[in-house]
């Protein structure tokens, strides 16, 4: 059982590293106008496969050992966290797709996306550290950071709705990407919540 | 952020604190108050106060020697049958102290039935007589009444369909699982108010275990069922409430789902996750 739990933890940490890099590359590729769809798609597929492997191992551990208490909470959370990481890969892929759909976006203002992207990347990094160290304080901090990304997205959309002179291509592409970044931040928050659940057994009601 | 696991056992308070699951809906059937049990100088149960709900299954878990079996034997005064054994404190059944002066232990055992680890049908008796034995001892001689009671008890023990054509075969000729259900039928025949089960499935195969577990779920419609088990998965499967005992003390008592998913005591957590015991 302990060997299985260690293996599960290592698989999650592998997924963590891969998904974090995938998101970073996707956001950078948008900011720098580089088409990295193929690479990012490959990594997102890899994450999806890893998620399946985590699910399979989790189910095997549940069936073979019928764990309870913190072991049960850990396995249940690993399945959720693995799903979260695979979603990060998918959103990263969606971000790189925007460039393919809209073409050259070099003239667009990317400040907001850079800021929100940086915040989301920090959230992923902290949620991974919180998971690795079972750090409840860090997990709670990730949750607090999510409000900033939410507000950036909402303010941008509200502003765009009333902007008469804006470049429609820039506005729509940035809205889409900010939406993906906002969802990425949400999943980092969920990973933080899973850490809280593993350690304390308390479930956080979702917004 | 406060972590939900306490690192040390809470110190016992002077005032009696009955352990009780918070969200319980049924009334209490059995209640112990500062129950202590001894085997000679060995103090097996220590100041144990607990309320057991009616029409529910309560599982008692804990490592070997933690006092699980001793505890349930105190509930129907079987503990005192062991030479050198004694108990103090109070055990209430529907509010009446079963250890009060003048209470007949035989009557207590009739009101609170017991099923043991190893099926123990009376070896010389038929299936029918095994079930009817308790009633006959209580003076019931009317054949129709005995027939009805035997059928009703075997039905309730989910055994009637399997043995209705073999009622006069020896009880010991049945399979292990059937023998255990026969013992349950025997316990039910005297119309008890609560059923105690001491590791009732540990000598049975998975299929017989599943039948007994299904039967327990039926029995709780009518009775308070208390089961002692080493099999944590069984406790998790069948019980509504679970109590964790350690060294004769009640460490934690709560709804089964809570105890198995999120125990509040470090000791419970360590036991459940196989860190000791």
Residues of chain B with pLDDT below 50 are 1-14
- Is A66 within the bounds of a domain? yes
Q: Calculate what percentage of chain A has a pLDDT beyond 90.
A: 86
Distance from CA of A191 to the nearest CA of B (A): 17
Closest CA to B217 of B55, B99, B49: B55
pLDDT at site B19 = 66
- Is A206 within the bounds of a domain? no
Distance from CA of B263 to the nearest CA of A (A): 6
Report the CATH number that the domain containing residue B91 is assigned in CATH. Answer: 3.40.50.300
> pLDDT (tens digit, 9 = 90+) per residue, A68-93?
999 999 999 999 999 999 999 999 99
- Is A95 within the bounds of a domain? yes
- Judged by CB atoms closer than 8 Å, whether chains meet at B3 and A73 is answered as no
Task: Report the pLDDT averaged over residues A96-122.
Answer: 93
> pLDDT (tens digit, 9 = 90+) per residue, A171-205?
999 999 999 999 999 999 999 999 999 999 988 87
Domain hosting residue B183, numbered range: 28-272
ipTM at complex level: 0.72
Chain B residues contacting A via beta carbons under 8 Å: 1-5, 232-233, 236, 260-263, 268-269, 272-274
Contacts of A68 in chain B (CB under 8 A): 232, 236, 260-261, 272-273
- Is A115 within the bounds of a domain? yes
State CA B49 to chain mean position distance: 16
- Is B4 within the bounds of a domain? no
pLDDT at site A75 = 97
- Is B194 within the bounds of a domain? yes
CA distance B252 to B70: 18
Q: Does the pLDDT at position A46 exceed 50?
A: yes
pLDDT at site A5 = 94
pLDDT at site B16 = 57
The pTM is what?
Answer: 0.80
**Of the partner residues A68, A71, A201, the one whose CB lies closest to the CB of residue B4:** A201
Domain tally, chain B: 1
Task: Report the pLDDT averaged over residues A121-144.
Answer: 96
Report the CATH number that the domain containing residue A72 is assigned in CATH. Answer: 1.20.58.220
Domain tally, chain A: 1
Q: Phi, psi (5° rounding) for residue A140?
A: -70, -35
Burial of B102 (0-12, 13-18, 19+ CB in 10 A): exposed
Per-residue H/E/C for chain A: CHHHHHHHHHHHHHHHHHHHHHHHHHHHHHHHCCCCHHHHHHHHHHHHHHHHHHHHHHHHHHHHHCCCHHHHHHHHHHHHHHHHHHHHHHHHHHHHHHHHHHCCCCCCCCHHHHHHHHHHHHHHHHHHHHHHHCCHHHHHHHHHHHHHHHHHHHHHHHHHHHCCCCCHHHHHHHHHHHHHHHHHHHHHHHHHHHHHHHHHCCCCCCC
- Is B16 within the bounds of a domain? no
CA distance A17 to A123: 13
- Is A205 within the bounds of a domain? no
Per-residue H/E/C for chain B: CCCCCECCCCCCCCCCCCECCCCCCCCEEEEEEEEEEEECCEEEEEEEEEEEECCCEEEEECCCCCCHHHHHHHHCCCHHHCCCEEEEEEEEECCEECCCCCCCHHHHHHHEEEECCCCCCCCCCEHHHHHHHHHHHCCCCCHHHHHHHHHHHHHHCCCHHHHCCCCCCEHHHCCHHHHHHHHHHHHHHCCCCEEEEECCCCCCCHHHHHHHHHHHHHHCCCCEEEEECCCHHHHHHHCCEEEEEECCEEEEEEEHHHHHHCCCEHHHHHHHCCCCC
- Return mean pLDDT, chain A: 94
- Is A207 within the bounds of a domain? no
Domain hosting residue A18, numbered range: 2-200
> pLDDT (tens digit, 9 = 90+) per residue, B15-69?
555 666 655 556 899 999 999 999 999 999 999 999 999 999 999 999 999 999 9
């Amino acid at each position: 059982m302990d060997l299985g739990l260690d293996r599960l933890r290592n698989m999650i940490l592998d997924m963590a590293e891969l998904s974090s890099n995938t998101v970073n590359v996707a956001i950078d590729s948008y900011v720098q106008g580089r088409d990295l769809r193929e690479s990012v798609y490959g990594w997102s597929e890899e994450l999806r496969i890893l998620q399946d492997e985590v699910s399979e191992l989790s189910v095997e551990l549940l069936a073979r050992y019928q764990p309870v208490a913190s072991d049960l909470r850990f396995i249940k959370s690993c399945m959720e966290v693995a799903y979260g990481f695979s979603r990060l890969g998918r959103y990263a892929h969606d971000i790189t797709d925007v460039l393919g759909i809209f073409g050259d976006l070099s003239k667009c203002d990317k400040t907001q996306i850079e800021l929100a992207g940086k915040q989301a990347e920090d959230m992923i990094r902290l949620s991974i550290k919180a998971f690795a160290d079972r750090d409840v304080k860090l997990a709670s901090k990730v949750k607090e950071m999510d409000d900033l990304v939410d507000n950036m997205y909402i303010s941008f959309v509200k502003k765009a709705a009333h902007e008469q002179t804006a470049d429609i291509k820039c506005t729509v592409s940035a809205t889409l990407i900010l939406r993906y970044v906002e969802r990425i931040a949400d999943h980092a928050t969920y990973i933080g919540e899973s850490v809280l659940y593993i350690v304390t057994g308390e479930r956080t009601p979702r917004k | 952020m406060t972590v939900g696991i306490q690192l040390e056992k809470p110190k016992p308070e002077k005032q009696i604190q009955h352990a009780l699951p918070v969200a319980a809906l049924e009334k209490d059937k059995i209640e112990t108050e500062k129950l202590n049990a001894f085997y000679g100088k060995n103090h097996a149960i220590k100041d144990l106060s607990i309320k057991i709900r009616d029409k529910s299954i309560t599982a008692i878990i804990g490592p070997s020697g933690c006092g699980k079996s001793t505890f349930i034997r105190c509930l129907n005064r079987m503990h005192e049958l062991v030479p050198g054994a004694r108990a103090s404190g109070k055990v209430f059944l529907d509010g009446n102290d079963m250890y009060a002066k003048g209470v007949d232990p035989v009557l207590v055992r009739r009101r609170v039935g017991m099923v043991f680890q190893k099926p123990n049908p009376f070896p010389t008796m038929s299936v029918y007589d095994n079930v009817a034995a308790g009633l006959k001892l209580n003076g019931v001689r009317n054949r129709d009444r005995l027939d009805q009671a035997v059928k009703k008890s075997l039905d309730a023990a989910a055994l009637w369909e399997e043995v209705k054509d073999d009622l006069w075969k020896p009880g010991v000729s049945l399979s292990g699982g059937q023998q255990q259900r026969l013992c349950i039928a025997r316990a039910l025949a005297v119309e008890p108010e609560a059923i105690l089960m001491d590791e009732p499935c540990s000598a049975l195969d998975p299929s017989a275990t599943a039948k007994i577990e299904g039967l327990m779920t039926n029995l709780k419609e009518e009775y308070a069922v208390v089961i002692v088990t080493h099999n944590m998965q069984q406790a998790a499967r069948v019980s509504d409430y679970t109590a964790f005992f350690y060294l004769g003390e009640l460490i934690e008592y709560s709804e089964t789902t809570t105890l198995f998913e999120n125990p509040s005591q470090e000791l419970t957590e360590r036991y459940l996750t196989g860190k000791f015991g």
